[in-house]
Copies of this chain bind each other. A is one copy, B any other.
Amino acid sequence: MTETIISSLTKEVRIGFEQPFVVIGERINPTGRKILANEMKHGDFSRVEADALAQVAAGAHMLDVNAGIPLADEPAILARAIKLVQSVTDVPLSIDSSIVAALEAGLAVYQGKALVNSVTGEDEQLERVLPLVAKHGAAVVAISNDETGISEDPNVRFEVARKIVERAADHGIASNDVVVDPLVMPIGAVGSAGKQVMHLLRRLREELQVNTTCGASNVSFGLPNRNGVNSAFLTMAIAAGMTSAISNPLHAEVMQAVHAADVIMGNDPNCANWISKYRESAPADAERGRRKRRRRPAG
């Protein structure tokens, strides 16, 4: 049974086929967040701290930490962000950068077993990132593209994933420490993106027997009511075998979908987590329940 164990000094998270789905909070990322980028660049990490606490309170099992700010000292900023986040929360982290020196700086200060996010199937990247992952005894996210880009053919993406898993093994990294990201395209641009990913997730689980993750919010890019699309996508991907995702736990609708998917997959024994979280809801009709709650303060 494939399990990827990620840890902080005091807490362990298991990503696995028979485990509750793992939500990796996506918020600590300056991409597209101008204010946060500017603050981080100038040494103000108060928003990073607030985002860390809010995401854990909302139920994130892990947090992704990214410091990709143009023209800034990314290795130093990433290391500082990781130290700060580890000082205020106990969830394990995903160290997120496309710059190898930043991954290195992050790993140097991280306490526990980190998830390195990420390595692609490009040979040069593999030869630089994998030794680092092996040296620190970390796990790694494998993104299924290579020098030729992202193939629209899910079977080509499968072969890239297989290549990364094999190359990781050459560096002494077991396949259960490789978490494959099958890459999710925006469905508004590529109508077959959903079916492609589900096909790929099934093959990754059944043939490569690896854990999987993805940047889930990408699927709804450009569409209205993105949480509605994201929630359905997550549950459907879980049905196809996905075991974790980098997503926004601050959206209650998305977290509810994940908790319900745990119930349907049989990974919430006796529905105990569901019942404890939602017993306040109207038993027959959540819609009606919401209307009631809204009405109460007014009446």
Interface residues of A (CB under 8 A from B): 187-188, 191-195, 198, 219, 223-229, 231-233, 235-240, 250-253, 256-257, 259-261, 263-266, 269-271, 274-275, 278-287, 289-290, 293-294, 297-298
Contacts and interface: CB of A to CB of B under 8 A. Distances in A.
Given A239-B240, A287-B253, A294-B297, A269 B191 contact: yes
Given A225-B281, A297-B298, 18 more contacts: A191-B270, A194-B265, A223-B275, A223-B278, A224-B280, A225-B282, A226-B283, A226-B286, A228-B256, A228-B257, A228-B281, A229-B264, A229-B274, A231-B257, A232-B263, A232-B264, A237-B239, A239-B240
Nearest to A250: B287
A36 B188 CA distance: 43
Contacts of A290: 290
B253 A233 contact: no
Tallying the copies of this chain within the complex gives 2
A265 B197 CA distance: 10
B227 A287 contact: yes
Residue from A237, A238, A275, A287 with most neighbouring chain B CB atoms (10 Å): A287
Given A188-B271, A266-B195, A232 B261 contact: yes
Contacts of A227: 285-287
